[in-house]
A and B are shown apart, each in its own frame.
Chain A
Amino acid sequence: MASEGPGRPPNQGEPVPEWLKAEGEACDVVLSTRVRLARNLREVPFAAKANKDQRRLSLDLCRDQLLIAGISPRIAWQELHEAAGVQRALLVERHVISKQLSKGRVGGAGVGGVDDPRGVAYSLPDERVAIMVNEEDHLRIQVIRSGLSLSQAWQQANDIDDRMEAGLAYAYSERFGYLTCCPTNVGTGLRMSAMLHLPALRLTGDIEKVKRAAGDMNLAVRGFYGEGSDAVGDLFQISNQTTLGRSEAAILESLEAQILPRVIEYERLARRDLVAKRRTMLEDHVWRAFGVLSNARFMTTEEAMQSLSLLRLGALLGVLPATPALDLRAINLLLLLIQPAHLQRAVGQELDQEQRRMARATLLRDRVRC
């Protein structure tokens, strides 16, 4: 089953993961929305305290339930302690697993390692559903949707949660809700987030205001690869910070009905402002980015993502001609294909940093044209 995963070389038929599809509501600003539930088994120690046998036990219990629960018509199961490093890196870049699950180490407790029993189940071919087993919690259920679609993502995650619980006794208390290894996730165990593309707010300098406002509303702002990562490519993740004492419905309502529409509107205003009042500056930024992407010989991931961000903005605002090579989904997909593991998969060999920069520039020259 696992061989159906992201192991094939990229070509015209490259399967586009759900979160890069450029579909759904507000997909001009919202790349994707994501719902994540943290769950643990009541009878097995949490990751911070489990020995290898106990980790094997939680893996077996969760996997057996995953495979009979009817989560998705097609599902891949990958045992990560048996997967090669490059396979794990591909899954991290595709947002199917976290860096932590890839490493197998449990944060503060300093336990675990690369051969620790752990795995992931994910839906094929869209990778919309991913369920990590033996990350910081026994189960991390994740549903990603293209565009602003938190309610649907929540419904699906909620349904998967019910199906898993039908065969597993969860750690739960009336007082503290779903019990998690780290108390920052206890309660609903729910993290809802949106990946937003906010290039116009950066160009107008209003992005700091958005970040401050988000902080005041008790929201976390993170970068493209989650916790502790920078907001490269003008991509920001906004998510709820607290999980205890507020119901799923309340968290959903505040993000989907109140906060996200406001941020989206703010970015759209800034975009209209650029077109109406600063057209030449906008065109200069976009065409410079196009020039770099279609001519450079060496390129870092950061520079590529920053230039692709402007290319995406240019495509959305009609600065660039509407050609298949410059459509939204093609540009979104490039954000993934320029990542290190995907580049190495494309050329079929391991590359050092300099070789990667060259391969990245070559790929972009090949794909970014009018």
Chain B
Amino acid sequence: MKCDLCERDATVREVTVRNGVRVERHLCERHAAEAGIKVTASQPAPGVPTPGGAGTQVRSSACPTCRTTFAEFKQHGLLGCAACYQFFEKQLAPLLERAHDGLSQHRGKAPARGGRPTPADSAVAEVEARSDLLKRLKSELERAVKAEQYERAAQVRDEIRRLCEGTEGQGEGCTGR
């Protein structure tokens, strides 16, 4: 039996009755400790590799921001960055629901900014977004030239030129003109 929250073996089974409904949780040592459940000596030691775990490996894509894979998360139960929550939202929601007594929609305080970026953040983000786009366009241009799609290549070159206009002085890498 796997831990409800990660890929390790569940060493603790906790059964509680809430509102007349039986709730059963299976947790590994780490997550049981986090949840305040005491692990007694008779239960298996932590860190024992999951038998057969290798065979069930899922080919998973990585968080675009921090490169954490879902398999990695399942292995140690920790996420890599804020973007992980968005990227793995579908897989995370049922796990969070189990860990939080059936609930998975936040209620309560929100940051005054509502998580919106500070002016400094948006300036950084803008520059980053532009350089990302530029990189993508350049590789597309390369591909189009290689495939001898000259019409497409001309379109992409125009796009690159447009992107680089108005960014004089910071148009680092704008060699597309």
Binding site for B on A (CB under 8 A): 40, 42-49, 106-110, 136, 158, 161-162, 165-166, 169-184, 186-188, 190, 215-216, 218-222, 227-228, 239, 241-250
Contacts and interface: CB of A to CB of B under 8 A. Distances in A.
Interface residues of B, number: 54
Interface in B93-128: 95-96, 99-115, 117-118, 121, 124
B18 A246 contact: no
Interface stretch (B28-36, B50-58, B163-171): B28-36
Residue from A40, A107, A182, A219 with most neighbouring chain B CB atoms (10 Å)? A182
A175 B111 contact: no
Contact of A218 (B18, B86, B95): B18
B14 to A, nearest CB: 8
A33 B119 CA distance: 38
A92 B116 CA distance: 35
A104 to B, nearest CB: 15
B105 A172 contact: no
Nearest to B37: A220
B82 A182 contact: no
B105 A245 contact: yes
A218 B36 CA distance: 10
A215 B14 CA distance: 9
Interface stretch (B71-79, B130-138, B142-150): B71-79
Contacts of A178: 106, 109
A184 B110 contact: no
A302 B141 CA distance: 71
A172 B80 contact: no
Given A40-B82, A109-B78, A176-B85, A183 B99 contact: yes
7 contacts: A46-B79, A169-B117, A183-B77, A184-B31, A216-B17, A218-B16, A220-B35
Nearest to B81: A45
Contact of B92 (A47, A183, A187): A183
Contacts of A161: 109
Contacts of A109: 76, 78
Given A176-B85, A181-B78, A218-B18, A45 B108 contact: no
A182 B5 CA distance: 10
B78 A108 contact: yes
A179 to B, nearest CB: 5
A187 B108 contact: yes
Residue from B30, B117, B121 with most neighbouring chain A CB atoms (10 Å)? B30
User: Does more than half of chain B's interface fall in helix, strand or loop, or is it mixed?
Assistant: loop
B35 A243 contact: no
| Nearest 8 CB-CB pairings of A with B | A220-B36, A245-B103, A177-B106, A108-B76, A49-B80, A171-B82, A172-B115, A247-B108
Contacts, number: 179
Interface of B: 5-6, 14, 16-18, 30-31, 33-39, 65-68, 75-82, 85-86, 89, 92, 95-96, 99-115, 117-118, 121, 124
A170 to B, nearest CB: 5
Given A45-B66, A179-B85, 6 more contacts: A42-B117, A45-B81, A48-B68, A110-B76, A216-B17, A228-B39
A245 B107 contact: yes
A317 B103 CA distance: 44
Contact of B30 (A49, A107, A166, A179): A107
Contacts of B117: 42, 169
Contacts of A218: 16, 18, 101
A181 B105 CA distance: 18
B93 to A, nearest CB: 8
A158 B76 contact: no
A241 B108 contact: no
Contact of B77 (A177, A179, A182, A227): A182
A108 B76 CA distance: 5
A247 B75 CA distance: 30
A10 B160 CA distance: 70
Contact of B101 (A136, A181, A182, A245): A245
Nearest to B110: A172
Contacts of B99: 183-184, 242, 244
Contact of A215 (B16, B79, B105, B113): B16
B36 A244 contact: no
Contact of B108 (A188, A227, A239): A188
A6 B107 CA distance: 39
Contacts of A184: 5, 31, 34-35, 99
A266 B103 CA distance: 31
A52 to B, nearest CB: 15
